[in-house]
Every structure is written in structure tokens, then in C-alpha cells.
Amino acid sequence: MTTLYGIRNCDTVKRARAWLDEHGVPYRFHDFKKEGVPEPELDRWLKSPGWEALVNRRGTTWRKLDESTRSSVVDAASARAVLIANPSLIKRPVVNWGAQGGVTTGFDPAEWKSHTV
């Protein structure tokens, strides 16, 4: 089963959920705001697709962090601590495509198409 992780009111997550619905992909939605960040999953994501892909450096949450916190994010361990404390920093959505499909971050319809074939 595909699991989509994100925040319900995020525009990108809304587009991603609509895309999955339009393409008939059954999925479970995990809301970071209501259910928190699943730490065992986060540990897997930090390995693949990797901490660099998970940290959203373009969003307002990143810009609101103080410079020392931003500059301290240099590896998986430091990213983990900041992502747990600030779930909105996780690039959304994170999608676990199930046993064979791996994990992706962000919404890319072309890439997603390859996971639904």
C-alpha cells in the first residue's frame, strides 16, 4: 500500500493527493501535524532518498530558523534532530510507494507515473 506523508493544508500535498485519486492509486495519508513524524520511517528516509532530499531549504520554516541552526544541518544525524523538532521542514510530500517502489520526496507527476505502472 502506498503511504503519502505530509501536511493536510499544504498546496503541494493537495495536488499530490488529487493526482493519486485521479490515477486510481489507493493510498493512506499520514498527517505530520496530527500524527507526528514517524521516527522509524524518518530513519529510513534519511538513508534513502537521503537527508539532503528531505530538508526543504526553500520554505518559510527554513528561513525562520536562526543561522546557527541552519548551518548545523550537515549530515543525517543533524538533519534528523531539526526535522523532528520542525516537521514542516520535511520536503512534502514524502511517498512510500510500497514494497517495490521505494520512497520519493516532492510532487513530480512524471516520476510518479513510473511508480503506478
- Catalytic sites, residue numbers: 10
**Cβ(30)–Cβ(4) under 8 Å?**
yes
Distance from C-alpha of 25 to C-alpha of 117, rounded to nearest angstrom = 10
From residue 38, give the alpha-carbon distance in Å to each of 22, 58, 84, 103, 116. 27, 23, 9, 14, 24
